[in-house]
Structure 1
Amino acid sequence: MDEKEEVAASDHIGDVCEGLMDTLESVAHGKGETLTGLGTGFEDLDYLTRGLEPGTLTVVASRPAMGRTTFLSDICRHNAIKNNIPTLVFTLEENRQSFTRRVVAAEARVPIHHMRAGTMTDEDWTRLGRRLPVVLESPLFIRDTARVDMRLIQLETATMMEKRDVRLVCIDGVQDIRPEKRSDLREREVGDVVRDLKTMARELDIPVVVTSHLNRSPEYRPDKIPRLDDLRESGAITFASDTLIMLHREDAYEKESPRAGEADLIVAKHRHGPAATVMVAHQGHYGRFVDMAQP
């Protein structure tokens, strides 16, 4: 068989179907519980999406102070610390010290404001001492370059995949990535970046998770609930993403809300399944979200 025939055979639908049947049998054997991608750490969200699949782009969007960076760090913790999966995170909205403090506080269940103010209690130190060794040994790699463009992200990701076997890339702040080609239209620049991220995910066959801002539109609605057309600066985010999750908390607007301590993960777009809303608990003092039943 010559080279052309080998290429044609590898692309034949029969070969693809064999892989599909293996996946279907695996899911059926697991009675619907088997993930087809990496977990997020949130049971209901993983049940809905089947996890973060290789080659996909997941966007987490919200208004400021809703907790999108916290949610992203939760995904990183679940994979790198709990499951020992090499994870690369580009933190473009804060430095690596701040992101690391966020991760450690959430993992050790130490109030993050205690760490910032230097007022940690004896119990805080005990909890920190118990979990810190686990954090230190985890394959979580943090990049906080102030001025980053797509070429650098692609190069760094490819390098870390080769050297550290990275299997998940998380980026906090898609609007902070500079495109390879500058434009007078900001919307076009963001659109180019998002499309490049999706291409990177497919070419490297890994899941990519990014955070994005929403515009002010939700604040002018009575219920404050975000919608797809609230994505700031670029509708291309909607089209390029495989999964788009909007983070919303009622108590961010109304402190005395009966839903204080709760958050909605609004899966507004899901290329491979239904859209739905997943409710989780917000433990703001620890800087983390958890499943509702989790202590």
Structure 2
Amino acid sequence: MPVWSAVLEYRPMDEVPEQSVPRLAEETVTGVVELNDALEDALDVVELASNKRGPGLLGLSTGFPSLDKLTYGLQPGTLTVIASRPAMGRTTLLSDFCRHIAIRERVPTGLFSLEESRENLAMRILAAESHVALTDMRAGTASDDAWNRLAKAMVRMNDAPLFLAAPGTMTASQLAADARQLHARRGVRLLAVDGLQDIAPPQRNDLREREVGDVVRDLKRLALALKVPIVATCHLNRGPEQRVDRRPALDDLRESGAITFAADTIVLLHREDAYDKESPRVGEADLIVAKNRFGPEATVIAGFEGTYGRFNDLRLDPVFLPAPAADPELPEHAP
């Protein structure tokens, strides 16, 4: 069998030095295991479902049992996307996940925000944990009782393994580097990113969808490499406003192709009272699980306490309905 040298000089195999011939049989292939090993890992997952985390939970609890029933928790190596129109509360929902996991369960969590400062993030978390109105905290009008609740919340939050970063701008490679450091030094087991579409792409491209696609795929690869779940927020376009019920759909995701393909779970957040203050569903929110790699699509109804900047689980059974779809008769909307 002949080979070609580096200068494309043809030489018979018997004239080529032995050390220059790749020994393919001796090389290892990254990530390849025998079926027996994979089966053992699968059995570990099955056993995990019945351990102390609770029946049916294969990952970290979000703090919303009704949502966990659908997704089996935030599982290692997965990418979950929370998407909504402005002022629906996607940052609030993301911080609720982090609050429960870091403060209640004491699981190291890294939260990166490209939309808020660290001070605002900390104030949001403190208000939700203490049940003190954000407006009172910002205006300095908290009562003595509110101050007592703040003090008690500070005790509960003391030494909680929640690590905040608000860089303002960040590339995907910078995020990956910081995440790897947090994982190695702090043992972080959940990464949260507020503002997926604000992450700078590895390289600029004329097509915005391609830029976002590169970022989303990088996040998914990072989750798989670190074996941790990643939860990210993103914006929806104006599609919901073109419909009578204004409920969002997967097609409303900006640069939706890449996000819809790469994400394991997509939760579309919707509140009727954001459009109609007299709605009979004031204080309720729909967590529409529009994509679920691990189970059915359904809608989870949660409570919304806007005064304190928090959602809560109403512990209602999920509504197993088809994921809402864009009305084909309506004119195409602009992002």
TM-score (norm 2): 0.83
2:264–2:291 contact (8 Å) kept in structure 1:
yes
Instruction: Give aligned-pair identity as a percent.
Output: 53
Which residue number corresponds to residue 103 of structure 2?
A: 81
> Could you give the per-residue CA deviations for residues 49-83 of structure 1, whole angstroms, max 9, x where no partner exists?
00000000000000000000000000010011111
CA RMSD after TM alignment: 2.0
2:102–2:162 contact (8 Å) kept in structure 1:
yes
1:18 maps to amino acid: E
| 1:259 Cα offset (Å) | 0.5
- Counting only pairs closer than 5 Å after superposition, residues 1-295 of structure 1 correspond to structure 2 as 11-27=33-49, 33-292=55-314
1:183 maps to amino acid: N
2:61–2:73 contact (8 Å) kept in structure 1:
yes
Unaligned runs of at least 5 residues, structure 1:
none
| 1:133 Cα offset (Å) | 2.2
Alignment partners' CA distance in 2, 1:68 and 1:154: 22
Counterparts in 2 of 1:30 and 1:74: CA distance versus 1, 3 Å: closer
Alignment partners' CA distance in 2, 1:179 and 1:275: 30
> Could you give the per-residue CA deviations for residues 2-31 of structure 1, whole angstroms, max 9, x where no partner exists?
x95986997111111122123324435789
1:33 maps to amino acid: P
SS at match of 2:232: strand
> Could you give the per-residue CA deviations for residues 76-97 of structure 1, whole angstroms, max 9, x where no partner exists?
1001111111100111101010
SS at match of 1:170: strand
1:188–1:234 contact (8 Å) kept in structure 2:
no
TM-score (norm 1): 0.94
Of stretches 131-140 and 166-175 in structure 1, the one that deviates more from structure 2 is: 131-140
2:147 maps to amino acid: W
SS at match of 1:90: strand
Counterparts in 2 of 1:185 and 1:31: CA distance versus 1, 3 Å: closer
Unaligned runs of at least 5 residues, structure 2:
1-24, 317-335
- Larger gyration radius, structure 1 or structure 2: 2
User: Which portions of structure 1, spanning 4 or more consecutive aligned residues, are displaced by more than 2 angstroms?
Assistant: 3-10, 21-32
2:81 maps to amino acid: V
| 1:292 Cα offset (Å) | 1.3
2:220–2:262 contact (8 Å) kept in structure 1:
yes
1:190–1:234 contact (8 Å) kept in structure 2:
no
2:75 maps to amino acid: E
SS at match of 1:148: coil
Higher share of residues assigned helix: 1
Q: How many matched pairs?
A: 292
Of stretches 64-73 and 15-24 in structure 1, the one that deviates more from structure 2 is: 15-24
